[in-house]
């Protein structure tokens, strides 16, 4: 894009935003909560999703990200209303299809911070297949799944994570199907950063969101976020304020102490799987983290190699040559 200079009302010249190195290098105002707050959340009073939003605002403020590089995406559901409440680029997309939308954005604009928010139904039911493919391709994004064990928006149907026996509009006599275990699914899917938290613990959420966004690749956090309307108190067993206990995974410090033997090695897939088999409410923290090349890096290399083979022709020249071959 070329640089454009215009005269303003008082005769001084200004340079259009987005094109001038002078503007690009100018000191930025600190990103404030006011700047990133878009709308009043429309969740029910007491919904766990409020705390997730608060934690996310805190992370954005703390990291002072470039405002124009923040992208929040979602599918459909109460939790998926999230992008409405964040003043940044965003989209409330088709039910279960946030991952493919995010994949295109992440691959085309690797400079953006791509965050996805959604529910257990959106992620593990209708979007379950997309989740697996985003994970195995290791596309760079951070996916935060607000798991409330129910379809909240559509007013209480059994979700893929509802426990056996849960009475809902679709299972009036109690759910009979084995629920999805999100950690097991994500490990098997090939996600390279997998963690679990609870909406009652904002500090823990902030720590995990920061770690997830620093991770290169497909990072996912499952967050137990209570639907006070259709499945109240279900996460109390992991909430110390309600008599439960929040057990945090102790990660290995590699300090050669006997205690370290017992700590969790986040790079050990089988150990992560074992943690995932613990009975409800289980443990919280990072289950698995590994370093694998992202599709973003692999695809960039492939494009560069292919372009070299064409003698670095422009997109238009390549297209024209293709048309010429078809004549």
Question: Which of 51, 52, 76, 107 lies at the binding interface for ligand TPP (CB under 6 A)?
Answer: 76
Secondary structure class of 224 (helix, strand, coil)? strand
- The reply to whether 166 sits near ligand SF4 by the rule CB under 6 A is no
- CB 162 to ligand TPP: min, Å: 10
Q: Segment 79-138, which members bind ligand TPP (CB under 6 A)?
A: 79, 95, 118-122
**Binding residues for Mg ion, total number by CB under 5 A:** 3
- The reply to whether 47 sits near ligand SF4 by the rule CB under 6 A is yes
- Pairing type for strands 150-151 and 285-289 reads unpaired
- Residue 240 CA to residue 204 CA, distance in Å, equals 13
- The CA distances from residue 3 to 12, 16, 22, 69, 126, in Å, are 16, 7, 11, 21, 46
- CB 72 to ligand SF4: min, Å: 17
* Structure letter (DSSP) for residue 126: I
Selection from ligand TPP, Mg ion, ligand SF4, none that 44 binds (CB < 5 to 8 A by kind) is ligand SF4
* Structure letter (DSSP) for residue 116: E
Tell me which residue of 264, 126, 260 sits closest to 194, measured CA to CA.
264
> Checking phi first, is residue 313 left (phi over 0); if not, alpha (psi -120 to 50) or beta?
beta
Binding mask 67-106 for ligand SF4 (x = CB under 6 A): -----------x----------------------------
Binding mask 202-231 for ligand SF4 (x = CB under 6 A): -------------------------xxxx-
- Pairing type for strands 89-92 and 141-147 reads unpaired
Binding site for ligand TPP (CB under 6 A): 76-79, 95, 118-122, 146, 148, 150-154, 159
Binding site for ligand SF4 (CB under 6 A): 43-44, 47, 49, 78, 148, 152-153, 227-230
């Amino acid at each position: 894009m070329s640089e454009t200079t215009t005269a303003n009302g008082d005769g001084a010249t200004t340079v259009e935003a987005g094109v001038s190195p002078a503007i690009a290098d100018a000191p930025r105002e600190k990103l404030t909560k006011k700047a990133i707050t878009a709308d009043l959340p429309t969740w029910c009073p007491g919904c766990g999703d409020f705390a997730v939003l608060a934690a996310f605002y805190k992370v954005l403020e703390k990291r002072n990200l470039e405002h124009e590089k923040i992208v929040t995406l979602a599918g459909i559901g109460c939790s998926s209303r999230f992008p409405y409440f964040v003043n940044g680029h965003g989209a409330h997309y088709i039910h279960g299809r946030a991952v493919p939308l995010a994949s295109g954005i992440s691959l085309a604009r690797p400079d953006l911070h791509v965050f996805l928010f959604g529910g257990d139904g959106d992620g593990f039911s209708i979007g379950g297949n997309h989740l697996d493919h985003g994970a195995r391709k290791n596309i760079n994004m951070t996916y935060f799944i607000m798991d409330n064990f129910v379809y909240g928006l559509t007013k209480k149907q059994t979700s893929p994570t509802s426990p056996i026996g849960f009475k809902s509009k679709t299972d009036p006599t109690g759910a009979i199907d084995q629920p999805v275990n999100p950690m097991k699914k994500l490990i098997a899917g090939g996600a390279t950063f997998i963690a679990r938290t609870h909406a009652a613990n904002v500090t823990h959420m902030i720590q995990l969101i920061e770690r997830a966004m620093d991770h290169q690749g497909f990072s996912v956090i499952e967050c137990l976020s209570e639907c006070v309307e259709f499945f109240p108190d279900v996460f109390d067993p992991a909430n110390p304020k309600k008599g439960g206990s929040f057990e945090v995974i102790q990660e290995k410090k590699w300090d050669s102490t006997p205690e370290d033997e017992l700590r969790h090695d986040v790079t050990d897939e089988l150990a992560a799987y074992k943690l995932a088999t613990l009975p409800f409410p289980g443990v919280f923290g990072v289950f698995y983290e590994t370093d694998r090349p992202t599709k973003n890096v692999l695809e960039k290399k492939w494009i560069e190699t292919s372009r070299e083979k064409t003698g670095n022709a422009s997109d238009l020249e390549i297209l024209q040559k293709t048309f010429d071959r078809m004549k």
